[in-house]
Structure 1
Amino acid sequence: MKHRNTYIIPYVLMTPAAVMLGLFILYPMLMNIITSFQSYSLVQIGRPFVGFANYKALLTDARIWSAIKRTIIWTLVNLCFSLALGLGSALLLSTRFRGNNIIKSLILIPWILPSVITGYTWSLMLNEDAGIITWLLKTLQLVSRDFSWFRTGALSMTAAMMANIWRAFPFFSLMIFAKLSTIPNDHVEAALIEGVNKRQMFTYVSFPYIKPVVVSCTYLVFIWTFNAYDIIKVMTNGGPAELTTTMSILVQKEAFQYFSLSNAATMSVIMFTLMTLIILLAYLLLKLVRKVKA
């Protein structure tokens, strides 16, 4: 009897979390999928079943393909620069210099700030008239006097990317730095005795240790960036002329600007499916590379 109670206890303890997970994640996901097969709008009565009509209509809509393209570009650029800056700063933090501990604390600030605050802060710094970054560029005559970050789609997207990269790279940096700190000293000393240079030290000693962390963090940041909404919403709201409208912004506009909840649900299902396929493809490619190297 005592053994049976011990066996049940873990499941009892997991029950509240499982109920919350089902109530606030699984149930809304299920309802979202069901809504994507209905014609549901806030300006009409009823929710008739329409099958795959929503998917057929949206997959022939140029807006969604443009949004998918922007979302992929947004995600890849943010991911590459965040990883590069995070890795570089982690390697820098792993060396001893005066003020190292202060920088470790300061580098965490962008990550702990809410993304909305980050968006507003960068909007102010890039403001055409009073932004410190824009003023500095104009003072150094690197841009014209009438330069504006939010006049064209490319510059607006670049501005939002800078804000998002600034916020995301500390996550990479601190996670990689934490893993670098666990490398055994005898491995480093053995490599130094062999006369390796800094590049070889990173390639053959450091990187094999941090690779699992880099892969895990890349997956996480990919998911967060692919679904990013707050910074783009605050800084550009998808403009100008919807040239910075990503999938998440398009879903929000479809639901709360055009009141078509069925279209918004369909877009979110497409978005989730695309994200899952990309992650699965990346996983399979990584697995194939490991098999080839083995």
Structure 2
Amino acid sequence: MSVLPQTENHVSSESPTVASHRQTVSIWNRLAGYVQNWGAAVVIALLGLVVWELSVRLFDVQEWLLPPVSKILSELIADPPLFISNGWVTLREILVGFMVSTTFGFVMATGMFWSRLLERSVYPFLIASQTVPVFTLAPLLVIWTGTGMTPKVVIVVLFTFFPITIGLMTGLRSVDADMIAMFRTLGASKWQMFTKLHLPSALPYLFAGLKVAAVVSVIGAVIGEWIGASAGLGWLIKTSGSRYQTDKVFAAIFTLSVMASMMFILISLVQARMLRHYHQSDSEGATN
């Protein structure tokens, strides 16, 4: 009679230890995965910065021509409010433009998916819009809308809506024909096929377009600020370059790179979570 309680106490006392051990192993496995995926890139980046610093010092390059990495870092540390305030201006333009592009791209892609007539009517203009250099439109946008936030947002949209639209539309039309036949056999409606089959299958393509858009959105915002602005990292680069403050220019460029990288990473994290959800649903459905 005393064996069962002892066994239960033994199991209950070991359970937290086993759970803690599994959690520790999971954390180390994630860290190992991060090192494996990004370790080489980090090492190469650090080596490049070291070579940059040593080359400037050894060859006695003038700082106004190419500042050393240490000078750029000291510029960032010396005046953080300058880069934070101007970075916030640029970030707002990027986020607003990115949200507008995502909404516009989703509406256009789904519209062309549902209507072949709309696709034949709109698709050529989508392609033609990418043949016009956006930089040439920036002065016109400043004339039409002023030097406020609007022209920067429009330029960001012009840079970013195309990869989102084309990525989502490609994904919606890339569903396996056997899966479509199976859904039809089960009596699924067009709306059910869209929400349960086409849209989940298009998510990898959509996130690929979002990643590209996140990177090029920074370029759009900088171009808009370059043409006409009184604040922002693009404006800071322009004004600092005209004064030969090269260290400040590189510091602003570094801030822009961090912003674009953080947006890319954030989208990748959302993608991993959402696609894992769909993979789990698929595996559960297969098991059932």
TM-score scaled to structure 1, two decimals?
0.63
Are 1:69 and 2:54 counterparts?
A: no
Q: Which amino acid aligns with 2:226?
A: K
Residue in 2 aligned with 1:182?
Answer: 174
User: Contact conserved, 2:101 with 2:157, CA < 8 A, in 1?
Assistant: yes
Residue in 2 aligned with 1:83?
Answer: 102
Residue in 2 aligned with 1:109?
Answer: 128
Q: Structure 1 residues 198 and 171 mapped into 2: Cα distance closer, same or farther (>3 Å)?
A: same
**Aligned counterpart for 2:79 among listed residues 46, 58, 65:** 58
Are 1:260 and 2:252 counterparts?
A: no
Separation in 1 of the partners of 2:69 and 2:180? 66
Residue in 2 aligned with 1:173?
Answer: 165
In the TM superposition, what is the alpha-carbon distance from 1:287 to its structure 2 partner?
3.0
In the TM superposition, what is the alpha-carbon distance from 1:55 to its structure 2 partner?
2.4
Q: Structure 1 residues 48 and 168 mapped into 2: Cα distance closer, same or farther (>3 Å)?
A: closer
Are 1:218 and 2:210 counterparts?
A: yes
In the TM superposition, what is the alpha-carbon distance from 1:288 to its structure 2 partner?
4.4
Separation in 1 of the partners of 2:206 and 2:276? 19
Are 1:276 and 2:269 counterparts?
A: no
Q: Which amino acid aligns with 1:246?
A: G
In the TM superposition, what is the alpha-carbon distance from 1:33 to its structure 2 partner?
10
Moved more, 265-274 or 95-104: 95-104
Q: Structure 1 residues 30 and 150 mapped into 2: Cα distance closer, same or farther (>3 Å)?
A: farther
**Aligned counterpart for 2:226 among listed residues 233, 249, 252:** 233
Contiguous gaps of at least 5 residues in structure 2: 1-43, 281-288
Residues 240-267 of structure 1: CA distance to partner in whole angstroms, max 9, x if unpaired? xx2xx3323322322x222111121222
User: Contact conserved, 1:251 with 1:267, CA < 8 A, in 2?
Assistant: yes
User: Contact conserved, 1:39 with 1:49, CA < 8 A, in 2?
Assistant: no
Residue in 1 aligned with 2:236?
Answer: 250
Quote the sequence identity (%): 12
Q: Structure 1 residues 89 and 103 mapped into 2: Cα distance closer, same or farther (>3 Å)?
A: same
Q: Structure 1 residues 48 and 227 mapped into 2: Cα distance closer, same or farther (>3 Å)?
A: closer
User: Contact conserved, 1:39 with 1:50, CA < 8 A, in 2?
Assistant: no
Separation in 2 of the partners of 1:209 and 1:186? 13
Separation in 1 of the partners of 2:118 and 2:194? 24
**Which of the pair is proportionally richer in helix?**
2
Moved more, 189-198 or 174-183: 189-198
Q: Secondary structure at the residue paired with 1:108?
A: helix
Q: Structure 1 residues 89 and 111 mapped into 2: Cα distance closer, same or farther (>3 Å)?
A: same
The two structures, once aligned, show a CA RMSD in angstroms of: 3.6
In the TM superposition, what is the alpha-carbon distance from 1:215 to its structure 2 partner?
0.8
Residues 133-179 of structure 1: CA distance to partner in whole angstroms, max 9, x if unpaired? xxxxxxxxxxxxxxxx326xxxx212321243145323322232223
Residues 50-103 of structure 1: CA distance to partner in whole angstroms, max 9, x if unpaired? 5843222132xx331112112222222222211221121112222344464242
Separation in 2 of the partners of 1:159 and 1:33? 41
Q: Which amino acid aligns with 2:160?
A: A
For the pair shown, the structure with the greater C-alpha radius of gyration is 2
Separation in 2 of the partners of 1:252 and 1:73? 19
Residue in 1 aligned with 2:201?
Answer: 209
Q: Structure 1 residues 87 and 277 mapped into 2: Cα distance closer, same or farther (>3 Å)?
A: closer
Separation in 2 of the partners of 1:112 and 1:63? 36
Separation in 2 of the partners of 1:174 and 1:52? 39
User: Contact conserved, 1:172 with 1:214, CA < 8 A, in 2?
Assistant: yes
Q: Structure 1 residues 98 and 281 mapped into 2: Cα distance closer, same or farther (>3 Å)?
A: closer
Q: Structure 1 residues 279 and 182 mapped into 2: Cα distance closer, same or farther (>3 Å)?
A: closer
User: Contact conserved, 2:168 with 2:205, CA < 8 A, in 1?
Assistant: yes
User: Contact conserved, 2:210 with 2:267, CA < 8 A, in 1?
Assistant: no
Q: Which amino acid aligns with 2:154?
A: M
Alignment of 1:127-206 (within 5 A): 149-150=145-146, 156-197=148-189, 199-206=191-198
Residue in 2 aligned with 1:17?
Answer: none
Q: Secondary structure at the residue paired with 2:63?
A: coil
Q: Structure 1 residues 96 and 40 mapped into 2: Cα distance closer, same or farther (>3 Å)?
A: same
User: Contact conserved, 1:93 with 1:177, CA < 8 A, in 2?
Assistant: yes
